[in-house]
């Protein structure tokens, strides 16, 4: 079933892109959802994230229409959704509506990650609606005081009942040393096992190198320009920029999400980038008409489809890289950075606080962000397991003696 709402990305005069939710029947924007989106934008969220959140709100609106729930009246009352409606909504959030529309109505389920994202987004939207009602209450008046207590209660109820927990059994883990070595070997332009066309081998190899060594996000990499790579300088560097006043890029599928930063390049990587720009890239049609570093076969900037195709080919052709993705390389980078930082802390060359700030800077996170820790969960788990095994090893000899005695005892009583 087609949604009653659609999302369109608006490009402002400043160059910033902003998704907006529209009513399909009238073509007019939805006031509440877009006002909520503006507040979300204020806390530095990319337009791609906001777009996914608005899709979740559209699903919420469709659910309310199908079950004849007047959302404005429901939340204006200060009570919000009933417990039964919340339970039904959680079930509705499992449905892959796009796939159902394509397949003629047969419903399939989304992943639990998507389900959790939908529920979390709708919960935030619902509590936002209730908090709007709370702002209208005057606690000095007895009637308003009772209404304030009512709204606070139901806001807390929504926070408690509208929860979805990820049930995936596997955590996103970084590549191990064997996989890293194989990835860099197989994607080397001169490799006989390289699965790519010769005209794109150097480009794809550089994409892998930059993701692995710098931990760039997909949008950050796709928006790199040739001017962002200073390979002529005595100290080569690569810059990740946010250009809100730029009218060069009109793609709606990529965005630089957070902080600008400039990072040093090794001489070898700088040399490879120079060779790529002067040879492989220069041979593409219209290459001189665009400033972007990585281009597709037709000379236009490489998009998300072309980017994803690189990893699809590697996953299909190289079994050991079955779980490979651009984001997984960012996790691999984060684990490597965390291990290096912890070693520096152990050696006394850097404080733990400064190590955290360093990783946040290089990863494009704010100084106060905890994302570097979240990205390094696999490394932290491995370190914790090593600690655990070290502690157990201290009693290993004693445990062996007990085990040997237990074996003799057991054989004697059988």
Q: Residue 291's pLDDT is what?
A: 94
Q: Residue 200's pLDDT is what?
A: 95
For residue 94, tell me if it sits in a domain.
yes
For residue 340, tell me if it sits in a domain.
no
Q: Residue 110's pLDDT is what?
A: 82
What is the C-alpha to C-alpha distance for residues 168 and 148, in angstroms, rounded to an integer? 39
Q: Domain range spanning residue 107?
A: 5-161
For residue 342, tell me if it sits in a domain.
no
290 and 413 inside one domain: no
Q: Residue 101's pLDDT is what?
A: 47
Location of structure tokens 């005057």: 138
Q: Residue 232's pLDDT is what?
A: 83
Tally of domains in the chain: 3
Q: Block means of pLDDT (10 residues each) for the chain, length 414 residues? A: 87 76 95 90 70 94 94 92 92 76 57 88 94 73 74 90 65 82 95 94 96 91 92 88 56 58 90 94 93 94 93 93 91 88 87 84 78 64 63 68 68 52
What is the C-alpha to C-alpha distance for residues 92 and 409, in angstroms, rounded to an integer? 59
Name the CA dihedral angle for 16, 259, 49, 57, rounded to a multiple of 10 degrees.
-80
Q: Which one of 327, 345, 371 terminates a domain?
A: 327
76 and 148 inside one domain: yes
C-alpha angle 260-331-123 in degrees, rounded to nearest 5: 80
Q: Which one of 280, 298, 327 terminates a domain?
A: 327
Q: 228 with 239: CB under 8 angstroms?
A: yes
Beta bridge partners of 109: 95
Q: Which one of 258, 292, 327 terminates a domain?
A: 327
Q: 363 with 351: CB under 8 angstroms?
A: no
For residue 24, tell me if it sits in a domain.
yes
Q: Residue 103's pLDDT is what?
A: 46
Name the CA dihedral angle for 383, 385, 390, 396, rounded to a multiple of 10 degrees.
-170
Number of CB atoms found within 10 A of residue 123's CB: 20
What is the C-alpha to C-alpha distance for residues 187 and 369, in angstroms, rounded to an integer? 33
Six-digit token string for 306: 């072309």
317 and 188 inside one domain: yes
414 and 323 inside one domain: no
187 and 72 inside one domain: no
pTM over cut 0.75:
no
For residue 350, tell me if it sits in a domain.
no
Q: Residue 307's pLDDT is what?
A: 95
189 and 295 inside one domain: yes
Judged by DSSP in three states, 165 sits in coil
What is the C-alpha to C-alpha distance for residues 198 and 305, in angstroms, rounded to an integer? 19
């Amino acid at each position: 079933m087609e949604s009653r709402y659609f999302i369109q990305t608006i490009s402002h005069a400043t160059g910033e892109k902003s998704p907006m939710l529209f009513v399909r029947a009238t073509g007019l924007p939805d006031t509440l959802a877009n006002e909520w989106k503006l507040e979300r934008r204020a806390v530095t969220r990319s337009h791609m994230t906001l777009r996914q959140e608005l899709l979740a709100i559209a699903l919420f609106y469709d659910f309310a229409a199908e079950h004849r729930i007047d959302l404005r009246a429901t939340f204006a009352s200060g009570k919000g959704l009933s417990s039964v409606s919340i339970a039904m909504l959680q079930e509705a959030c499992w449905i892959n509506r796009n796939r159902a529309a394509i397949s003629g109505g047969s419903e399939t389920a989304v992943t639990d990650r998507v389900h959790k994202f939908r529920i979390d987004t709708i919960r935030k939207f619902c509590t936002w609606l209730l908090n709007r009602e709370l702002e209208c209450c005057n606690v000095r008046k007895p009637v308003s005081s009772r209404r304030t207590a009512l709204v606070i209660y139901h806001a807390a109820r929504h926070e408690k009942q509208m929860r979805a927990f990820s049930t995936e059994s596997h955590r996103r883990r970084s590549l191990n040393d064997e996989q890293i070595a194989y990835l860099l070997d197989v994607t080397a332009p001169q490799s006989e096992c390289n699965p790519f066309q010769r005209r794109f081998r150097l480009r794809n190899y550089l994409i892998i190198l930059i993701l692995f060594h710098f931990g760039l996000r997909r949008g950050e990499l796709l928006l790199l320009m040739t001017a962002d790579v200073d390979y002529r300088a005595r100290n080569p560097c690569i810059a990740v920029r946010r250009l809100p006043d730029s009218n060069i890029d009109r793609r709606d599928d990529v965005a630089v999400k957070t902080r600008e930063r400039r990072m040093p390049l090794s001489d070898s990587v700088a040399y490879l980038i120079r060779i790529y720009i002067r040879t492989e890239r220069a041979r593409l049609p219209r290459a001189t008409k665009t400033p972007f570093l990585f281009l597709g076969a037709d000379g236009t900037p490489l998009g998300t489809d072309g980017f994803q195709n690189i990893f699809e080919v590697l996953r299909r052709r190289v079994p050991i890289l079955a779980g490979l993705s651009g984001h997984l390389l960012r996790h691999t980078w984060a684990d490597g950075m965390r291990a290096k930082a912890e070693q520096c802390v152990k050696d006394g060359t850097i404080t733990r606080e400064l190590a955290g700030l360093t990783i946040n800077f290089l990863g494009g996170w704010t100084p106060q962000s905890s994302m570097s820790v979240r990205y390094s969960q696999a490394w932290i788990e491995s370190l914790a397991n090593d600690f655990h095994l070290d502690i157990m090893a201290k009693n290993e000899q004693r445990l062996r003696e007990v085990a040997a005695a237990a074996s003799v005892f057991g054989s004697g009583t059988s």
